[in-house]
Amino acid sequence: MNNRARWSLGFLSLALAVGVPLRAQSGDQGKAPVYTYLAEWAVPRAQWADMVKLDEQDRALMDKLVADGTLTSYGAFTNLIHQEGEATHGTWFTATSEGNLLKALEAVYAQPGSTTAPVQGASKHWDYVLVSRTYNQRPGKYEGGYLAGDQWFVKPGSMRAYNDLLKAALVPVCEKLLADGVVTAYGVDTEDFHTEKPGRVTFYYTTADASAFDKASKAFDDAFEKNPALVSAFQSMVDREGHRDFLNRLRYMSNK
């Protein structure tokens, strides 16, 4: 098994532990859920610059919503692995309640031209409302970097076993990467309002630059090379059909 497959399976294990706190190893008794509104667009190549410009127009509003406590984070990204008919650009914002998420969405809708830009009319579009209880982030504003991760489908009845394996093997690795500044955020999302096949989980992480991305990859490689039995354990608990990886250019991100 190559290194990417090895640490991709590691991401899977993290993605399966929706109910497990990231700080389980340090005595944290759990985290309240956070909710994310994710908008993705398949933009015609000739209009990529128009979509970037449109996203930039929302940043002042997003900053205000973070400052007043409505939101806890937001960001924008551009897909680096293009597939015909799939998303090329995306934005997200995160809140501690569904109500705050809707408050932010209404504020976006209230901006002049926010839903009528020509680039939007020319692009395919997907919205998701996600929930997470496994997450962590470093406060601050970040310009550039990378947003990566993967998606899997969990086999019925396997969640508890994944949770146990997560706490023992991977949470400490992720926490150390965060503490060392190698990653700037990471977490696990499932759909709060379901539009996809049930059981899909998404693990994501962000880094400030390519060097940090390499360091994160190596950390996961090392974790599995020291204990190859983890790979077999993870494989036995997942429906591998529908698995996908993603790698995005993080244009900007703000974490409270």
Q: How far is CA 132 from CA 17, 89, 180, 186, in A?
A: 10, 22, 23, 11
Distance, C-alpha 82 to centroid of its chain: 18
Record the pTM: 0.84
The Cα 171–Cα 168 span in angstroms is: 7
Selecting from 3.40.630.30, 3.30.70.100, 3.40.640.10, 3.20.20.140, what CATH number does the domain 3-255 have? 3.30.70.100
Tell whether the model's pLDDT for residue 69 goes beyond 60.
Answer: yes
Q: Which residue type, as a one-letter code, is found at position 35?
A: Y
**Higher per-residue confidence, 123 vs 112:** 123
**Higher per-residue confidence, 151 vs 60:** 60
* Structure confidence at residue 18 (pLDDT): 34
- At 13-52, the pLDDT tens digits run 433 333 333 333 333 346 799 999 999 999 999 999 999 9
- The average pLDDT across 143-160 equals 87
Using alpha carbons only, give the angle 140, 144, 148 rounded to the nearest 5 degrees: 95
Reported as a pLDDT band with limits 50, 70 and 90, residue 91 is very high
* Structure confidence at residue 1 (pLDDT): 43
SS (H, E, C) 185-220: EEEEEEECCCCCCCCEEEEEEEECCHHHHHHHHHHH
The answer to whether 28 touches 109, Cβ cutoff 8 Å, is: no
**Higher per-residue confidence, 200 vs 25:** 200
- The average pLDDT across 193-207 equals 86
Question: Residue 185: which of 97, 92, 63 has the closest Cα?
Answer: 92
The neighbour count for residue 167, using CB atoms within 10 Å, is: 17
Reported as a pLDDT band with limits 50, 70 and 90, residue 162 is low
Mean residue pLDDT of the chain comes to 85
- The average pLDDT across 211-220 equals 93
- The average pLDDT across 141-170 equals 82
Tokens read off for 192 = 């709060």
* Structure confidence at residue 167 (pLDDT): 66
Strands 89-95 and 34-42: antiparallel
